[in-house]
Structure 1
Amino acid sequence: MLIEVIDDAARRHGDRPAVSDRQTTLTYRELIRSSAVWADTLAGLLPGGDRGRIGIRAGNGVAYVVAYLAALRCGAVPFLIDRVSGVQETAAIREDCGLDLLVHDSPAPGWGTPRGELGTLTVTGAPSAGRAALDPQTEVCRFTSGSTGRPHCIEFRGQAVHRAAVNWATGTGLDADDSIACFASLSNGLAFNTSLLSAFLVGARLHLPNGLPSGSAVGRAVAACAATRLVGFPALYDSLVRRPVTDGSFGRLRMAISSAAPLDPGTKHRFVEATGVPLRNYFGAAEAGPLTFATDPLTDLGLGGPLPGVLLRAGTRANPGPVEVRSESMGTRYLNAPGLLESRMTDDGYYRTGDRGYLADGSLFLSGRSHRVINVGGRKIDATEVVEALRAAAGVRDAVVLQVLDRHGVPALAAVLAADDSLDPSGPRRFLADRLAPYKIPSLVRVVPEIPRGSAGKPAMAALEGLFAVDRTDG
């Protein structure tokens, strides 16, 4: 149903600009024509049999959107893969999901000889032997992010994708006068749910800047497309507040949106103070779509109330509890992990998000992640609590807390701090000693210029764990 919904929107919006990047702008009419041409190319490369499965692993841009629509148009299922996925991770996705083709803009070792081109994108692939059947109504597949294991492939019915877009547009007031500057990867829910189909439904313009989101680059992109909405991960806003916003780039901007990782309150305050633009850190889940939105972030200090089509339940301020959700945009299942998504559902159809929090005055407040609980020596430690304390220490810009093995092979609490290399790690540890129980103070600390993160803004845990490898091997 998705391509029918998109075609209907295109007929209504015709010659309005639909999508652009630094090099190209397509109207709605041109977008549909281009996707039809590319759909013919893809159809000729797909093997016969059941529905084709096309992985898309590319950076944001007009070509990405055209390839996505082309995959839908030729009757295939697009699998949206994070562009920063490594060789092993991409190979695991191919094996787990039985992909036929990969559309990509960077090398794809192990995929064989390129079989075609779609503009600036390359099409590579060979059919996989044996694969799990898709749900008959699946139209799009996306992947969970932030895990060091094999990504879970979430199947989405077309109706779920459509309802996510409709409910986001309705709940946030998105309309045809909006222009969205989106710096988040389209493979991630932050962009997929807030900036792709939702923009097309109402006739808005979607602008997809390329390159690193430095403060100056963001300003130029916002000005170039006269953006009314800015979408990006927390790191984008951290970059923006490091430079004065004085060039008038943000004159038409009415809303900034962040998600996927915690947004530092100091960053939020400085951004709003500098631009006058409300910055909203909405709550969503990969498996359930966008869930909350703060209509007035000046008075709503939480993550907002439920969007249309969403039901929430959680604990109380005095007793935070598991956050559970029902939405019209729920995923159907994990293609490569049968039964796992179903096991995370309650008997009455709510998805257990893994977050803990509470509802107050109609708004959701998060207090931590249940799976972020670290067990060291029989002591349970909420990593979120320790991270928040470390971020308040002098000289610390950012922090991640994790469990590693020390040089004796014993589990230990560790921290990676983003700070200048002159920072003495004993300072933050002394700071924690006055605030937290002794067992919550990391025994191993590394200082880095910036926390390594994936394209979704979440910490790259494998890289962080590697910083402590010396402690595991040093006799």
Structure 2
Amino acid sequence: MESYQELAPPELLARSLDPGATGPLGPTVTRWDRLGREAAEELVTKALPDVVELCTSGSTGPAAPWRHSGRQLWAEAGMLADLVRADRPRAVLSFAPPTHLYGLIATALLPAVLGLPLCYWPRYGLPTPAIDADRWLVVAIPWAFPVLLRDQSVLGRRERVTVLHSTATLPATAGDFVSAAGPDRVRLIELFGSTETGAIAHREQAAGTSPWTLMDDVRFTDDPADARLGVTSPRLALTPEGRPMARWTTDDYVQRLDDRSFHFHGRRHRLIKVNGRRIDLDLVEERLRAALPCADLSCVPVTDRIRGEHVELLVAGPHEPQLVHRRTAETLRELGVTVGRITIVDAIDRSDTGKPRRIADRRAVSP
């Protein structure tokens, strides 16, 4: 079975900041706790280049490069540390690849800020981390939760677990993990942001729909009645002149509650109109995951010659293939949604942060 490579902090930073030179980071243990926080900060500030270029996931179009300063990355790592510090974690287990903004900050830099040992888990099938701790910080992306559910020994004694999640909608398996581990022992924090903006907002997952709260250095722009989320922050991506953008309007539809919080209603590329009704594909997927035991599934917007925008459903590894069509129809009837085509596939092609890779527009075939 594959084992973990122990990397010294300087080597972890070098490989995280320049994956093209050495290839993707493999299973890794890095002992930031042996360095001391002051020494760690000095090492990181020297290692971080003036400008770091990172690409979007490519899930909604061609991957686009955006630049952030080293100071912006280190500042955001400090803000994430402030969100979790009260839980007094003693080790970090990260599933987020440092090739993207969230992973670079939360996997490579956040453990340095906290002065904690890091175990990086980049893929399925790895042994239990070689770190014994009773209070864990988990840096999660969607596929992390099935791993944590399948093997209860991954987090050892796990008296307390703080989960930081970003890059996609929180999957239903997150709630399953919280229930299995014990709600009184798990705190789940979601981050809202993008490669262009860094972290915009956060919320703690609780019963019901919680509003999002802006990060301390983020402010709204535009009119409160505007449905699109516009923000300003000193951590926005850099202009060609090397200064943070003055403002950025995302593809997210929100309802502002006050000067610091909002409800999220959906992303533009995940909201479609079918027969005059606006449909949130993330909500559709959430309902289907609860009804269709399977390895993975994805709702894909397609162009229908007669009905305009429509939906295809891809289902990977269903436990009961013969029931997929019936359960899909039963589940979506409550939402007033129909699916143009259902395809059972071996696997769904996703990026290393768990987002479905962009599927070229095509015409739907009636079932």
TM-score, L = length of structure 1: 0.59
Provide the secondary structure at the position in 1 that maps to 2:322.
coil
TM-aligned CA deviation for residue 144 of structure 1: 0.4
Cα pair distance change 1:421/1:300, threshold 3 Å: closer
Cα pair distance change 1:152/1:359, threshold 3 Å: same
Provide the secondary structure at the position in 1 that maps to 2:235.
coil
Q: Is the CA contact (8 Å cut-off) linking 1:315 and 1:358 kept in structure 2? A: no
1:377-402 CA-to-partner distances (Å, cap 9, x unmatched) read 88764433433443354556753222
CA distance in 1 between partners of 2:300 and 2:223 (Å): 26
Aligned twin of 2:102: 190
TM-score, L = length of structure 2: 0.74
RMSD: 4.5
Aligned twin of 1:165: 77
CA distance in 1 between partners of 2:252 and 2:109 (Å): 27
TM-aligned CA deviation for residue 61 of structure 1: 5.3
Q: Does residue 20 of structure 2 align to residue 59 of structure 1?
A: no
TM-aligned CA deviation for residue 414 of structure 1: 1.4
User: Which 5+ residue runs of structure 2 have no aligned equivalent?
Assistant: 32-41
Aligned twin of 2:37: none
Percent identical pairs in the alignment equals 21
Aligned twin of 1:240: 148
AA in 1 matched with 2:25: G
CA distance in 2 between partners of 1:64 and 1:150 (Å): 33
TM-aligned CA deviation for residue 242 of structure 1: 4.0
AA in 1 matched with 2:322: L
Provide the secondary structure at the position in 2 that maps to 1:416.
strand
AA in 2 matched with 1:271: F
Q: Does residue 323 of structure 2 align to residue 415 of structure 1?
A: no
| 2:301 aligns with one of 382, 391, 403 | 403
CA distance in 1 between partners of 2:222 and 2:310 (Å): 31
Q: Does residue 340 of structure 2 align to residue 443 of structure 1?
A: yes
User: Which 5+ residue runs of structure 1 have no aligned equivalent?
Assistant: 1-20, 40-52, 78-137
AA in 2 matched with 1:369: R
**Bigger-Rg structure (1/2):** 1
Provide the secondary structure at the position in 1 that maps to 2:312.
strand
AA in 2 matched with 1:352: T
AA in 2 matched with 1:238: P
1:441-472 CA-to-partner distances (Å, cap 9, x unmatched) read 1211112365432111111233xx69x89959
Aligned twin of 1:147: 59
CA distance in 2 between partners of 1:433 and 1:198 (Å): 40
CA distance in 2 between partners of 1:236 and 1:392 (Å): 17
Provide the secondary structure at the position in 1 that maps to 2:77.
helix
Aligned twin of 1:213: 124
CA distance in 1 between partners of 2:274 and 2:154 (Å): 50
What pairs with 1:287-306 in structure 2 (closer than 5 Å)?
A: 287-294=196-203, 297-298=205-206, 301-302=209-210, 304-306=212-214
Aligned twin of 2:38: none
| 2:325 aligns with one of 426, 442, 447 | 426
Cα pair distance change 1:74/1:292, threshold 3 Å: closer
1:405-460 CA-to-partner distances (Å, cap 9, x unmatched) read 5799x8653121342352344314532563244xx412111123654321111112
TM-aligned CA deviation for residue 141 of structure 1: 0.7
CA distance in 2 between partners of 1:315 and 1:238 (Å): 41
Q: Is the CA contact (8 Å cut-off) linking 1:387 and 1:400 kept in structure 2? A: yes
| 1:181 aligns with one of 88, 93, 102 | 93
Provide the secondary structure at the position in 2 that maps to 1:423.
helix
1:57-86 CA-to-partner distances (Å, cap 9, x unmatched) read 412456999xxx9999699x6xxxxxxxxx
Q: Does residue 292 of structure 2 align to residue 383 of structure 1?
A: no
1:120-164 CA-to-partner distances (Å, cap 9, x unmatched) read xxxxxxxxxxxxxxxxxx511111003364311101123322221
Aligned twin of 2:35: none
Aligned twin of 2:34: none
Cα pair distance change 1:175/1:325, threshold 3 Å: same
Aligned twin of 1:327: 233
Q: Does residue 189 of structure 2 align to residue 280 of structure 1?
A: yes
Q: Does residue 7 of structure 2 align to residue 22 of structure 1?
A: no
CA distance in 2 between partners of 1:312 and 1:293 (Å): 14
CA distance in 2 between partners of 1:421 and 1:286 (Å): 38
What pairs with 1:114-153 in structure 2 (closer than 5 Å)?
A: 138-147=50-59, 149-153=61-65
CA distance in 1 between partners of 2:282 and 2:161 (Å): 31
